Chain A
Amino acid sequence: MSNVPADLRFLKSHEWARLEADGTVTVGISDHAQQALGDLVFVEAPEAGRRVAAGEACAVVESVKAASDVYSPVSGEVVAGNADLGGQPELINQDPYGAGWIMRIRPDDKAQFAALLDAKAYEAALAAETH
């Protein structure tokens, strides 16, 4: 069973989002997603300054099995991509909710964040996916 922290928000496409104290939103992929992908070998994080729309593919995670897009949960401006992933994509496997974060976005509208799935809803979505 995968780890779904109660304090995070999620997308059905398996991204997580956390509202930071400074108003930015940190984004990564869920523990379930990293397990399903297997060992990650390459991550392409977006560059700071890029404008992204909610639902837009803005990063790529590549494992030994597949390459998948990472979708932005909110519209806004990317303030940082996780540069450590360039040399250590395995950080996502080891610590998907911590050192394995992918990007930080300054959202145009915080209401978008509030509308994301909470942990319970995401767990329900995972349960529905496996059946």
Chain B
Amino acid sequence: MPFIPHTADDIREMLAVIGAPDIQALFDEIPAELRSRALDAIPPALSEMEVGRLMSERAAADGQKLNFIGAGAYEHHVPAAVWAIVTRGEFYSAYTPYQAEASQGTLQLLYEFQSMMASLTGMAASNASLYDGATALAEACLMAVRAHRKSKSQRILVPAAVNPDYRDVLQAVTGGQHLAFELLPYDPRGGTTTTASLEKYRGQDITALVIQQPNFFGNLEDVDALTDWAHEAGMLVIAVVNPMSLAVLKPPGEWGAKGADIVCGEGQPLGVPLSSGGPYFGFMTTRLEYVRQMPGRIVGRTVDLDGKPGFTLTLQAREQHIRRSKATSNICTNQGLLVTAATIYMSLVGPQGLANVASSCIQRTAELVAALASVPGVRVAFNGPRFHEAVLLLDRPVRGVLEALAARGIVGGVDISRDYPSLGNALLVCATETRTPEDIATYARALADVMQSAAAA
């Protein structure tokens, strides 16, 4: 259906019918002091050609830097076919399909996405996505409070080794709903959360334990021990996972004797390019027994009157258009376009391809850590198994080093000294399959150079 805006004649006609002299008169009721002033700071309009030129110039100013930042969003190769398919008109709408009779293609795609995420995480049921990884964790905590009917405390244990941005978002989203978060320290040697740190909570009413795998430092937590400990103590287990890592790590559904109860995370590594913080998408999966407490939309497979298979939104009675204020969540839209990309990415790459990417990430990061740690003044913070990130400790403030590296075209990582002051000068680095051995050697040479010249200065 083409969009035809009303013409000046239409507007005149409509104003004549209601007896208003002009459009401005429709706003007379709003006191003058409440109206927004003219937007003086906005420069005059540019033509499409001028805007195109301006944006190219700005992009060129950014340059093509060599990136070693992870910390929640990861640079992976996205096959060209992914976005060629995503941008087809049939998929190019991010809004949730309400009408099953008009949206079978999109609904089937969401159903396949859910099947893939359930399979990857080892859980029974998945929703059709959430806003992003951090808000997915907040939703998971709210869900745990609803699902754990024996626990009345709304207290949730959150390791300090969980992404600090996620912890901030957790507070922002759930703070008004009286959830209380207890911060668990990490073991300073291993950079992981130990069951010993949990012992003081034994016997208390705690709703859930959050476990991030791999954790913010890139280290692998002892998820079996933590999960079993939490279950024995009567808590639910919320897993926050990098979906890419699940191609080689044990799925949360198999953690410990019983598996995690709720699994969530950031879906960006699956086919979504880095883009200044978003848009990305969150995912969530759970056990069948908790599916009614899960937020977000769920697509189900069914049969029509003639017995032919079809797809439709299901379990809608938990959603806000039916349950109103008692709904499981006010999140009703999903990140449809990004989920489409992720589904196509996973379909194209396949289980073996995903495992290859994950293995390359581990390999490259091991090479990166070895290369950088050989630079004088640099050492590795934690020993033990890791995925594709590591914390390095420098003998001087990280910020100046990162600035000097940036001047050489290298984005060297994230300064996490402020989030983790006890670590000292701490730098979080990451290498995915997109970093070649040459890239790593380039970084190591630049770092050695920077450290030496700074030492000389």
- Tell me whether A67 and B318 are in contact (CB under 8 A): yes
- Tell me whether B326 and A69 are in contact (CB under 8 A): yes
CB neighbours of B292 from chain A (8 A): 42, 44, 62
Taking CB atoms and an 8 Å cut-off, the chain A residues in 42-82 that contact chain B are 42, 44, 47, 57, 62-63, 66-67, 69
CB neighbours of A57 from chain B (8 A): 326
How many residues of chain B have a CB within 8 Å of chain A?
Answer: 8
- Tell me whether A66 and B322 are in contact (CB under 8 A): yes
- Tell me whether A62 and B149 are in contact (CB under 8 A): no
| Shortest CB distance B103–A (Å) | 20
- Tell me whether A47 and B150 are in contact (CB under 8 A): yes
- Tell me whether B323 and A67 are in contact (CB under 8 A): yes
Indicate whether B317 reaches chain A with its CB closer than 8 angstroms. Answer: yes
| Shortest CB distance B14–A (Å) | 39
Knowing A42-B292, A67-B323, A69-B326 touch, does A47 contact B149 (C-beta < 8 A)? Answer: yes
CB neighbours of B326 from chain A (8 A): 57, 67, 69
Q: What are the interface flags for B291-316 relative to A under an 8 Å C-beta threshold, 1 for contact and 0 otherwise?
A: 01000000000000000000000000
Cα A69 to Cα B326 with chains together (Å): 9
Q: From B291, which residue of chain A is reached at the shortest CB distance? A: A42
Most central of A44, A47, A57, A62 by chain B CB within 10 Å:
A62
- Tell me whether A67 and B149 are in contact (CB under 8 A): no
CB neighbours of A42 from chain B (8 A): 292, 317
Cα A67 to Cα B317 with chains together (Å): 5
- Tell me whether B149 and A66 are in contact (CB under 8 A): no
- Tell me whether A62 and B317 are in contact (CB under 8 A): yes
Cα A32 to Cα B113 with chains together (Å): 41
Q: Can you list 9 A-B contacts (CB < 8 A)?
A: A42-B292, A44-B292, A47-B149, A47-B150, A62-B292, A66-B317, A67-B318, A67-B322, A67-B326
Q: Which A residues are closer than 8 A to B by beta carbons?
A: 41-42, 44, 47, 57, 62-63, 66-67, 69
A42-B317, A62-B292, A67-B317 provided; 8 other pairs, C-beta below 8 A? A41-B317, A42-B292, A47-B150, A57-B326, A63-B317, A66-B317, A67-B318, A69-B326
